Amino acid sequence: FVDFAGRTGQHILERYGMTETNMNTSNPLHGERKAGTVGPPLPGVTVRITNDKGAVVDAGEVGNLQVRGPNVFIGYWKMPDKTEQDFTDDGFFETGDKGCIDKDGYVSIVGRAKDVVITGGLNVYPKEVELFIDDLPGVSESAVIGIPHADLGEAVVAVVVKESGSEIRNTEIVNACKQELANFKVPKNVVFIDELPRNTMSKVQKNVLREAYDGLVNE
């Protein structure tokens, strides 16, 4: 963000939206922007974070992100069961995202609920590990996934794209993670790939990666 501002004289304004809801939150154009967040809810929009039992959690606690407002669609076309599944009784839409809201009402997105890795009964949010790995010299980008593991349920695996000419090794990445991350978040394996698979919206297809590396950590 700092590099972009230095090169262009413009600032990136983080926002959060999806096809089913249009825009939900935005850092203020004029006002306090909190880097790393997607800002507070837009006027008329309510965002809340709940646990798996549906109870609203405390500020700063990660949970399921739900949204309600005039921006939210009314349901899936000719799919009443899916509509009932994705909406709460009080009208909130289950986005499928994991996030948290700070004491000032600014929302942070942690990742997709389906991408959370549960290893040894502990939750690993891939985005945290990806951001750390992406900052390492020689790394272009990464995707962190969970692979079935006989003892842990799932094991953390990092799929990494090197920068051109980089000679970084998987052991270097693992050792760097061990220095800064909790042990259960450290990848059990690091594999290198030329490019991450993406869909037409340029989103990384983690399901493709999970299929490609299924069984890797048990070999």
Domain count, the chain: 2
- Do both 158 and 97 map to the same domain? no
- Do both 75 and 36 map to the same domain? yes
Domain with 144 in it: 116-218
Tokens representing 77 are 């076309």
CB-based burial label for 206 (10 Å; 0-12, 13-18, 19+): buried
- The residue whose two tokens read 């154009």 is 29
pLDDT tens sequence for the chain (219 residues): 778 888 998 888 999 999 999 999 999 988 889 989 999 999 999 999 999 999 999 999 999 999 999 999 999 999 999 999 999 999 999 999 999 999 999 999 999 999 999 999 999 999 999 999 999 999 999 999 999 999 999 999 999 999 999 999 999 999 999 999 999 999 999 999 999 999 998 999 999 999 999 988 754
- Do both 16 and 89 map to the same domain? yes
